[in-house]
């Protein structure tokens, strides 16, 4: 049988919900209220999100049935309206919705495409807080146009990036709308439920099931939430400065994976020396229990506080995995702590992750996939490809959906950062990085935000310089290297990777 778990939000969320249920709802004039725009205007994924509200908090209550392999769930969203709303929508795909409540009152609902449209009994006023509760069932094995679910023999994990969190829970599925998260995951005996953030409580329900409750200390973008169920052992260790590290490891493979897991403390120490204190309450790895080629389309994914991996990758020698482990760790800073304002800003995530991942590789004397052993040599090679990549893949900061995760966002982004460091010097570049991270911590930031910080910190207007590198159709001259040349587009040159089989993410130079 399937079990439907009760909603048990944490005290802070319960207090908010109680206050909302007592206070008279703020209503708008039906003559002036309009439906919220069913987009936040993202240039790459224009169908994502709704601009009529912002989410303050999610509480996700999921119960996994090991017999049916279905998930019964309740998602409770606390949101604030940005305008008068006669209707709002959540992103949702593949969810069998049973009921929708708005401030505790049943609301009319309609599932249309990838939207769950909700019509309140009376229009909502602007700048008011409301609670939306959606009860639904999800099938992690359902065949959908795209999905975040990663089914495993003993449960599931999720990989929501870039636009699939809404196949797991109804949400405003865009990184510009980060929110607080709490989770309650109910599982049968022999399994564990784990989520982003830290464990708040474990409850024995007395019927062979256990509920695990987690809370994030910092807000999370929907595309980097992690929820997993399986036969796991939790391995705790201490990182630098007392940082708690926890790995969530398939029980049967824990011993074999330990050499890779043991690398994390030194990786964290290295990056903290360059980017400052680790921004979250914990970090660790989740080698989920599937090495199937179609399990997910990448080697690692930086879900917040718990990076998802295919286990077989982590069974390799350190020189084969250390650079990419650094890449994923750097995303805790660029991508997670500071999220992209739009998906056009992805180069900020991937360029920085590859930049520091390559530095880590070359410091250790590990040759890269081209056999090169210095950043200068790799950047000279990348520079030569610049015009070809701009022609075939567009400028670094101007992707489309088809080429979003190709090498232009990764190595092309590294080349931009290398050029900026050449332009301003290493110490100023370091100050730009730390200022940007501090200013936009727990928020989202755009390419223009990065340009503004670079200009402010360097004491010179870098906008023309950086826009040429980020948006130009021709590769600018490299500061400090007047001898470097760009191979003409007409010449035969290796194209940037642009996977068309669904395997988008593995274009990192750290692999």
Structure tokens at 453: 């910080």
Separation CA 309–CA 77 (nearest Å): 29
Percentage, residues of the chain above pLDDT 90: 87
User: Which residues touch 112 (CB under 8 Å, ≥6 apart)?
Assistant: none
pLDDT, position 25: 52
- pLDDT tens digit string along 202-212? 999 999 999 99
C-beta atoms surrounding 472 within 10 Å: 15
C-beta atoms surrounding 152 within 10 Å: 19
Run of H or E including 447 = helix 447-458
Do 287 and 372 form a contact (C-beta atoms < 8 A)?
A: no
Structure tokens at 204: 């024995």
- pLDDT tens digit string along 68-97? 999 999 999 999 999 999 999 999 999 999
Degrees (nearest 5) of the Cα angle 473, 475, 478? 155
Strand partners, 115: 91, 112
Q: Phi and psi dihedrals of 435, rounded to 5?
A: -65, -45
Mean pLDDT for 484-508 is 65
DSSP state of 320: H
Percentages helix, strand, coil for the chain (3-state, rounded to 5) are 30, 25, 45
Location of structure tokens 């249309």: 112
Overall residue count recorded for the chain in this entry = 511
Structure tokens at 200: 């708040």
pLDDT, position 499: 41
Question: In sequence order, which ranges of 297-425 are alpha helices (DSSP H)?
Answer: 318-330, 346-363, 375-384, 386-393, 407-424
Render the burial of 193-222: b for 16+ CB within 10 Å, e for the rest: bbbbbebeeeeeeeeebbbbbbbbebbbbb
Q: For residue 295, name the pLDDT band (cuts at 50, 70, 90).
A: confident
pLDDT, position 49: 98
Structure tokens at 335: 């991508």
SS3 state of residue 414: helix
Q: Phi and psi dihedrals of 84, rounded to 5?
A: -65, 135
Angle between helix 346-363 and helix 447-458 axes, rounded to 10 deg: 60
Residue 443 has pLDDT above 80, yes or no: yes
Residue 4 has pLDDT above 60, yes or no: no
Render the burial of 400-413: b for 16+ CB within 10 Å, e for the rest: eeebbbbbbbbbbb
pLDDT, position 29: 75
- pLDDT tens digit string along 21-31? 434 457 767 77
If we measure between CA atoms, which residue out of 105, 109, 58 comes closest to residue 79?
58
Do 331 and 434 form a contact (C-beta atoms < 8 A)?
A: no
Residue 92, CA atoms < 13 Å, CB-side half-sphere: 24
Mean pLDDT for 12-41 is 64
Separation CA 191–CA 205 (nearest Å): 14
Widest CA span in the chain = 72
Q: What average pLDDT is seen over the chain?
A: 92
Separation CA 126–CA 128 (nearest Å): 6
User: Which residues touch 260 (CB under 8 Å, ≥6 apart)?
Assistant: 285, 314, 315, 316, 318, 321, 325
If we measure between CA atoms, which residue out of 349, 362, 356, 245 comes closest to residue 306?
245
Mean pLDDT for 267-284 is 98
Mean pLDDT for 156-174 is 97
If we measure between CA atoms, which residue out of 61, 68, 228 comes closest to residue 156?
228
Strand partners, 62: 73, 185
User: Which residues touch 264 (CB under 8 Å, ≥6 apart)?
Assistant: 237, 239, 245, 247, 283, 284, 285, 325, 329
Do 302 and 332 form a contact (C-beta atoms < 8 A)?
A: yes
Residue 19 has pLDDT above 90, yes or no: no
Run of H or E including 156 = strand 155-158
Residue 205's alpha-carbon distances to 6, 60, 73, 202, 208, in angstroms, are 11, 18, 17, 10, 7
Residue 9 has pLDDT above 60, yes or no: no
């Amino acid at each position: 049988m399937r079990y439907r778990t009760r909603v048990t939000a944490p005290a802070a969320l319960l207090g908010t919900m109680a206050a909302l249920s007592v206070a008279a709802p703020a209503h708008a004039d039906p003559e002036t209220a309009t439906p919220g725009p069913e987009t936040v205007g993202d240039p790459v994924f224009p169908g994502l999100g709704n601009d009529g509200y912002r989410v303050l908090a999610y509480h996700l209550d999921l119960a996994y049935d090991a017999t049916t392999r279905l998930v019964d769930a309740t998602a409770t969203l606390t949101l604030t309206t940005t305008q008068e709303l006669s209707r709002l929508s959540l992103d949702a795909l593949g969810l069998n919705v049973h009921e929708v409540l708005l401030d505790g009152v049943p609301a009319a609902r309609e599932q249309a495409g990838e939207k769950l449209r909700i019509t309140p009994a009376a229009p909502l006023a602007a700048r008011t807080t409301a609670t939306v509760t959606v009860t639904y069932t999800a099938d992690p094995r359902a065949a959908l146009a795209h999905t975040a679910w990663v089914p495993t023999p003993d449960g599931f994990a999720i990989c929501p990036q870039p636009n699939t969190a809404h196949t797991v829970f109804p949400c405003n599925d865009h990184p510009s709308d980060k929110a607080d998260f709490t989770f309650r995951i109910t599982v049968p005996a022999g399994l564990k439920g784990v989520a982003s953030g830290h464990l708040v409580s474990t409850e024995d329900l007395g019927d062979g099931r256990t509920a695990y409750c987690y809370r994030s200390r910092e807000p999370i973008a929907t595309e980097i939430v992690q929820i997993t169920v399986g036969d796991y052992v939790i391995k705790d260790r201490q990182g630098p400065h007392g940082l708690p590290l926890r790995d969530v490891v398939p029980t049967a493979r824990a011993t074999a994976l330990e050499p890779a897991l043991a690398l994390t403390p030194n990786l964290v120490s290295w990056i903290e020396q360059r980017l400052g204190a680790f921004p979250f309450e914990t970090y660790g790895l989740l080698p989920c229990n599937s090495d199937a080629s179609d399990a997910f389309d990448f080697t690692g994914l930086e879900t917040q506080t718990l990076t998802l991996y295919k286990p077989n990758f982590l069974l390799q020698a350190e020189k084969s995995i250390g650079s990419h482990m650094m890449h994923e760790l750097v995303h805790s800073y660029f991508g997670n702590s500071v999220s992209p304002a739009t998906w056009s800003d992805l180069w900020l995530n991937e360029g920085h992750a590859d930049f520091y991942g390559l530095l880590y590789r070359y410091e250790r004397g590990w040759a890269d996939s081209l056999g090169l052993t210095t950043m200068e040599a790799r950047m000279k090679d990348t520079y030569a490809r610049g015009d070809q990549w701009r022609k075939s893949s567009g400028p670094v900061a101007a992707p489309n959906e088809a080429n979003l995760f190709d090498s232009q966002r990764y190595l092309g982004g590294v080349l931009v950062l290398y050029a900026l460091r050449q332009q301003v010097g290493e110490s100023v570049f370091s100050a730009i990085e730390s200022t940007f991270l501090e200013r936009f911590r727990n928020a989202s930031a755009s390419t223009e935000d990065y340009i503004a910080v670079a200009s402010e910190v360097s004491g010179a207007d870098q906008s023309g310089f950086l826009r040429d590198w980020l948006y130009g159709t021709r590769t600018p001259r490299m500061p400090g290297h007047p001898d470097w040349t760009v191979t003409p587009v007409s010449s035969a040159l290796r194209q940037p990777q642009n996977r068309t089989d669904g395997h988008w993410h593995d274009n990192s130079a750290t692999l």
